[in-house]
A and B are shown apart, each in its own frame.
Chain A
Amino acid sequence: MVTAFDYVPAIVLLPFVSFVVALFLGKNLPKKGAYGGIAATAGSLLLSIWVLFAVRGGGAHQETYWTWAEGVGSQPFTLEFGALIDPLSALMLVIVTLIATLVHVFSLGYMNDEGERDLPRYYAGLGLFTASMLGFVIADNLLMAFMFFELVGLCSFLLIGFHFREEGPPSAAKKAFLVTRFGDYFFLVGVVAVFATFGTAAFAGAESFPALAEGALAGNVDVWTPGGLDVMTWFTVVGLLVLGGVMGKSAQFPLHTWLPDAMEGPTPVSALIHAATMVAAGVYLVARMYGFYVLTPTTMGIIALVGGFTALFAATMGIVKEELKQVLAYSTISQYGYMMLALGSGGYVAAVFHLTTHAFFKALLFLGAGSVIIAMHHNENMWDMGGLKNKMPVTYWTFLAGSLALAGIFPFAGFWSKDEILYEALIHGLNEPLILVGYVFGLLAVPVTAFYTFRMVFLTFHGNARSETARNPEPVRWNVKGPLSVLGVLAAVTGVINMVPVQKVLGIEGIDYLHLWLNNHYGGIEGLSSHHYAEIGPYSSGTLFGGEVATVVAGAAVSLGLAVGGLLLAWKLYNVAEPVEHTDKLGGAKSLLYNNYYQDEFQVWLANRTRGVSGGADTFDQGVVDGVVNGVSSVSLVSGDRIKRIQTGVVGNYALLLTLSLTALLVVFALIGGWF
């Protein structure tokens, strides 16, 4: 019988076909390949929804499509491509394909209607990115995940540098590529370490590396460790190595510096890649191999601490930015910090929940920003805007929905997910001081987030118009408003998929759908459930005020109160007819924040200090590697130059050579064969 799972490869291949078509035929197509991209991603979306319902109906799927390398020896590795469809990947498939489809539609308005050039290259990049991202999502082993992880990084590079004729984008693209590659370097070492330790990199099953690691810690399984290292220590090291790639891709401190610069790319690209999906790849990877991470409390603590710190750190920088997309970029970093905090503090479901809601509302905010940018003729400075509320109602109301979600205001999607993260961090933090520090960071970031979000909203849409373009903005068409509306509704209502606080306070059972979903309540693969993760996890829960309900209410009240406080402060300062730059009052702190805590300068300084190492590598490359290659070719060149002298062109010489050679050959044969 044909099931949805038979079509899993098609989900990945459809966007890939659109990439090939756009690349080779794009010039001759109407809208330069946009329709092909929309059709392919929409097809993938439908198939993904089908897969989602198949998982809802109790299914789960793991299949190896292609074994592309088989080892020999006593412990052979097999390297393979396969698909792993469980509740987590099914959900992620739907998120990625939905956002990709909407971004393709939006691109019609943002790229085609604006008369950009080289559109086939743009749509080819989007197609390849979507295909790679989906391939990453369905990956059933760490190596395949790594390969697609690199591919999405490449697509990100290509699309950030789309406007390569200008000065900024190529530089930003290089920076994004190099910084994420720095993290991926550790990831690669981690992949090799996983292979060396377990002999497999599969995510799921009894022979998967999380299962083997669990067995090794229980003393049931023997694994290789370098130099007889303690198993727990070695697993921590491996986990941290893989985490390097995660921190690069998900823009966690200190590898977050590339993401704000990545805003040089076209806005739909920022929405798809640098907000909703690719940046989520890091978080998704941790969730995918969560069964491995929960085994090592040290790694979990580091994840939580880095996440919480990044959430607060990035949020503070968002306060002073003047450009719309820069604010959103820092809020993206901050929100992914929350997800890492959730993962580190044992809130697997909370992290996936926030991943989902964030994908919707942050894609919405970026597309809304794109709409504003169209209207403002590509001027992104918020101080030139103002008063757009009445001129762009659709954009305003959807943007407002996204902002409320981002700020975590009841009852928008972001409130539920952020509240659950903070709740998980709180109850686990009560017994674990490190997690509690992460919780405090996260909690402090709440009012900051609300403040910069509404500073952005008020500066952009409220007050009086502060420039000529703001007084007469360019109208946007259906292809901009359509995706905004869809995402606006989703940003408002996605919270209902996981109403845990309501369930706990009011006692209504069965409305925590996402918990049931990720707990293999409907269908799933043994060992990949949130229940299993909680069992093997290091944390125990504590409560405040003598009860779970009280803890839930208190946590939600505190975070909502802080968010509303931040919102009201922004309201007071910026919701006026002629707002002034209150951030100037911060004095030196402002320039510190505005220059991103001099992170870039620090990294440049660091790069200059390590110039000796890279210079040595360069000398080695130029001298030894290139030297060997050049040496080999020069041998051929010189010997060819000498040997060509034989070819005199005089027929007599050829005849003489033939005769002499024949004679010599005959003599040799005669001597060997004994003819004489």
Chain B
Amino acid sequence: MVPPEYYLLLSSGLFCIGLFGILTRRNALYFLMSVELMLNAANINLVAFSFYWGNLTGQTFALFAIALAAAEVAVGIGIILALYRNFGDVDVMQAATMRW
């Protein structure tokens, strides 16, 4: 049996890798991939604790999270397209017009 704290370490590691990508990259597509990593970090926790408590709710919920990630990617890709059309690039640092 793997102790649960290792699952937590794994998931927080995965989450922080995703966050690292978001913080350092400028390409919107990398952003999307990083967000996928962060979402799946959450899924790891769901599945791990589903096993820990012997209850399937967590696993089922992870399925829903995956479905939502798919929806999010669909919208995200659309936004990236709009971004490209408006700024001629997918560099998220250039799209800085929504401020004061």
Contact = CB atoms under 8 A, between A and B. Distances in A.
A651 B93 contact: yes
A649 B96 CA distance: 4
Contacts of B19: 655, 659
B26 A652 contact: yes
B33 interface: no
A648 B99 contact: yes
Contacts of B98: 649
Contacts of B22: 652, 655
A649 B99 contact: yes
Contact of B100 (A647, A650, A652, A655): A647
A656 B22 CA distance: 9
A604 B93 CA distance: 70
A165 interface: no
Contacts of B92: 650-652
B36 to A, nearest CB: 16
B23 A655 contact: yes
Contacts of B96: 648-650
Nearest to B25: A652
B79 to A, nearest CB: 11
A367 B47 CA distance: 93
Contacts of A650: 92-93, 96
Interface string B18-56: 010011001000000000000000000000000000000
B35 to A, nearest CB: 11
Interface string B56-100: 000000000000000000000000000000000000110111111
A656 B99 CA distance: 17
A650 B94 CA distance: 7
Contacts of B99: 647-649
B97 A652 contact: no
A644 B99 CA distance: 9
Classify chain B: how many residues form its interface, as a range. Answer: 10 to 19
B97 A649 contact: yes
A649 B26 CA distance: 14
Contacts of A656: 23
A346 to B, nearest CB: 75
A65 B22 CA distance: 67
A644 B23 contact: no
Nearest to B28: A651
B12 to A, nearest CB: 11
Interface in A652-676: 652, 655-656, 659
A648 B97 CA distance: 9
A592 B7 CA distance: 105
B23 A659 contact: yes
Contacts of A649: 95-99
Interface in A621-651: 644, 647-651
A665 to B, nearest CB: 15
A425 to B, nearest CB: 77
A559 B97 CA distance: 90
A644 B93 contact: no
A647 B97 CA distance: 11
A301 to B, nearest CB: 72
A651 B93 CA distance: 7
23 contacts: A644-B100, A647-B99, A647-B100, A648-B96, A648-B99, A649-B95, A649-B96, A649-B98, A649-B99, A650-B92, A650-B96, A651-B92, A651-B93, A651-B95, A652-B22, A652-B23, A652-B26, A652-B92, A652-B93, A655-B22, A655-B23, A656-B23, A659-B23
Given A652-B26, A655-B23, A659-B19, 15 more contacts: A647-B99, A647-B100, A648-B96, A648-B99, A649-B95, A649-B97, A649-B98, A649-B99, A650-B92, A651-B92, A651-B93, A652-B22, A652-B23, A655-B19, A655-B22
What 8 pairs between A and B have smallest CB-CB spacing? Answer: A649-B99, A649-B96, A650-B96, A647-B99, A644-B100, A651-B92, A655-B22, A650-B93
